[in-house]
Amino acid sequence: MTTTKQAIAQLRPLGDPVKAAEMHKYHKVDRPYLGVANPVIDEQVKTWRAEGDLEDRLALAKGLWKGNTHEGRIAAAKLLTQARIRPDDAGAWALIVSWVPDFDGWAVADHACIAGQKRLVADPSRLDEVATWTTSEHLWTRRAALVMTLPWTKQNNPKPADLAIRERVLRWAAGYVTDHDWFIQKAIATWLRDLSKHDPARVRAFLDAHQADMKPFAVKEAGRKLPL
């Protein structure tokens, strides 16, 4: 299996120093950038994933995250973004959870949250742990509770258990509406917007109850896909 040092050495020549500088300026997070495009990272991850078993992937993902390059952290998340991981024990989920306190910007956080979404869908009992994030003092941890639960906005025919989860997350979102940080308001709006495609009545009810406490841009975004 490729080591962390080898993985970074493989990514580095694929980058562009000019693009790296632009990415640093855009993301506004102070860490090394290699200037590697996401599709190129995808190809590298496919190669690394094929080389070893789950334990190898976990070790590489852990090392890439710890290395703290932008592309390394994106690759770490992509290594664990699979609908099925066998065995789906605590290893992959625990590693993703360990990254949450490190979130410091939307791009890396969102890639890690996508990996987390897969593990939550595979085992919804993990939502009990996510629930504890909703009262965190760390902005990005609170936001992750909504981003990781986005799959429950997309179901056309949710089962009763899924509806219960949907309502649980909506209660979390209701508790966030007075937090006017842009990223929190955007996360609420995104959850509602995506849900509106499948349950517009529930989104209208949420907005009727809470829009007075939300930022105007979030109210507008939340209702953008509602049927006229």
Q: How far from the centroid of its chain's Cα atoms is residue 211's Cα?
A: 25
Average pLDDT of the segment spanning 164-171: 98
Among 148, 166, 186, where does a domain finish? 148
Q: How many domains does the chain have?
A: 2
Going by C-alpha positions, the residue among 96, 141, 132 that lies closest to residue 115 is: 96
Q: Are 164 and 126 in contact (CB under 8 A)?
A: no
Q: What is the pLDDT of residue 130?
A: 98
pTM of the model: 0.95
Is residue 186 within 8 Å of residue 109, measured between CB atoms?
Answer: no
Of 105, 124, 148, the position where a domain reaches its end is 148
Checking if the pLDDT of 182 tops 80, the result is yes
| CA–CA distances in Å: residue 102 to residues 9, 73, 117, 143, 180 | 24, 11, 18, 13, 22
Q: Please tell me whether residues 107 and 161 are part of one structural domain.
A: no
State the pLDDT at residue 83: 87
- pLDDT over 70 percentage in the chain: 100
Can you tell me the distance from the alpha carbon of 217 to that of 205, in angstroms, rounded to the nearest whole number? 18
- Per-residue pLDDT tens digits for 49-99: 999 899 999 999 999 999 999 999 999 999 999 988 877 777 999 999 999
Question: Are 87 and 126 members of one domain?
Answer: yes
| Residues 124 and 217 occupy one common structural domain | no
**Nearest to 58, CA basis, from 84, 31, 32, 93:** 93
Report the alpha-carbon distance of residue 222 to residue 228 in Å, rounded.
14
Of 84-98, 103-117, 213-227, the poorest mean pLDDT is in 84-98
Do 161 and 130 fall into the same domain?
no
**Range of 186's domain?**
152-228
**List of residues 6+ apart from 101 with CB closer than 8 A:** 138, 141
Q: Does residue 137 register a pLDDT over 90?
A: yes
Looking at residue 98, its pLDDT comes to 97
